[in-house]
Amino acid sequence: MNPAWPVMLVDGDITLRPIRMRDQRAWREVNRRNRDWLRPWEATIPPPPPGGPVAQRPTYRQMVRHLRGEANAGRMLPFVIEYQGRLVGQLTVAGITWGSMCSGHVGYWVDREVAG
């Protein structure tokens, strides 16, 4: 268990807080509404190997369960982005490496209505 997680970061109108199961409806609505706009940056599912099974995206619940497990292990910080109390995206610090390297990378998506 990661004693530093969960954490909430607030600066003015913007809040980064841990993603929750009960965010599903708002998360799906924002993601669906922005699907075309986000498409150029969205990761794709690789094609299956010949004769192999077709990979599928995880369900929302599977995704949140995975993100929570990684956060509790100290390998990831999965946040939703709120603007003025409304869910507007997701930001994840992933690939966290501790020790002398101490690194990670950030990925995010945000509602077109608040981008920029």
Q: How far apart are CA 112 and CA 1, in angstroms?
A: 35
Is pLDDT above 90 for 1? no
The answer for residues whose C-beta is within 8 angstroms of residue 67's C-beta and 6 or more apart is 19, 76, 78, 92
Q: How many CB atoms are located within 10 Å of the residue 3 CB?
A: 6
Domain edges within the chain: 9-39+58-110
Look over the chain and give the mean of its residue pLDDT values, rounded to a whole number.
91
Banded pLDDT at 86 (limits 50, 70, 90) = very high
As a residue count, the chain comes to 116
The pLDDT assigned to 54 comes to 72
**Beta strands per DSSP E along the chain:** 9-11, 14-18, 77-83, 86-97, 103-110
Domain range 9-39+58-110, its CATH number among 3.30.2180.10, 3.30.70.1290, 3.10.180.10, 3.40.630.30: 3.40.630.30
Q: Give the per-residue pLDDT at 91.
A: 97
